[in-house]
Amino acid sequence: MREYRVGIVGAGGAVGQEMIRVLEKSPLPVAELRLFATERSAGRRLRFRGQEYVIETTDPERFAGLDFALFSAGGGPSRQLAPEAVKRGVVVIDNSSAWRMEPNVPLVVPEVNGAVLSEKGAYAEAKLIANPNCSTIQMVMVLKPIHDAARIKRVVVSTYQAVSGSGHKAVVELEEQTKAYVEGREAENQVYPHQIAFNVLPHIDKFDETGYTAEEWKMIRETQKILDDETIQVTATTVRVPVYRGHSESINIETDKKLTPGEAKKVLAEAPGVVLLDDPPVNLYPMPITAAGRDEVFVGRIREDFSVANGLNLWVVADNLLKGAATNAVQIAGYMVEKNLL
């Protein structure tokens, strides 16, 4: 069996380190692993499958010879470095927002639209593949089976997103603010514009002139691209909550065809990568602590929306660092190997 040479760009960050862990437990045969990061993280040693690896500074010349490069370095570095890797024959799977809406770049969730990588068309033989936004990934995982069964016309989503989506500094800020609150001290905030401990912020990313944030527009536009249907109307409100890990979403769906809650549960229970947890009388429903450390997307509280003819409400939770980022990236690489797309 062929083995692959894999690089991880941004290996010193939270998602980069999760990529290493996910890759370690994946069936992908890895002959060589190379870790890249900024000078600040260079020299750190990390373990992978029983061996120790040293993080190198990110230099385009060092990409030569790799089969895959998993990028988790932010939009600016990705814009600069991803084309350099592709130029050297490397397949880049990028976790930033830099390339997601480029017409010639596939935006992929393998269980939902992995086939775009193997079908002839706009994305044939793509060497640069975009990983969607974390909140979009978990949403389309449940939308796709319902869309196939009843065709979705409209989606209204409100998210409740963990602080780890803002990086390690945000996690530390929540910890310190919580401690300060308990001790009766004034909480300081640097990552967010307001205190996040014991609070919620209806504000993720920058606001534009419409009053929407960039995070909300990501969910709208990425959903249409992944499902390959611009007629689906999507609106979003994204909210930061004082949870360390795991994004939650309240999703309202309107469909062309009537789909009962029972039918929706059956469809979702059979969907790959989706776990149905739905028995409210015994308090069974997804929560962030349910999803933390898991690769699946969890769905529950499926019920009819009686305000429209064909409406459903769902509650969806996933680990934003795993399926929302690292796991999906590694799964893309695995899909390409499985389909002999290199």
Residues carrying an active site annotation? 134, 247
Burial classification of residue 76, based on how many CB atoms lie within 10 Å of its CB (0-12 exposed, 13-18 middle, 19 or more buried) = exposed
Q: What is the C-alpha separation between 264 and 248, in angstroms, rounded?
A: 19
Q: What is the C-alpha separation between 330 and 251, in angstroms, rounded?
A: 27
Nearest to 135 by CA among 335, 268, 286, 328: 328
Nearest to 288 by CA among 247, 241, 242, 238: 247
Number of Cα atoms under 13 Å in the Cβ half of residue 324: 31
Q: Is 114 left (phi over 0), alpha (psi -120 to 50) or beta?
A: alpha
What's the token pair of residue 127? Answer: 């060497």
Torsion of CA 166, 171, 173, 178, to 10 degrees: 130
Nearest to 41 by CA among 64, 75, 9, 18: 9
> CB-based contacts of 185: which residues, under 8 Å, 6+ apart?
none
Q: Which residue has the tokens 């990236």?
A: 329
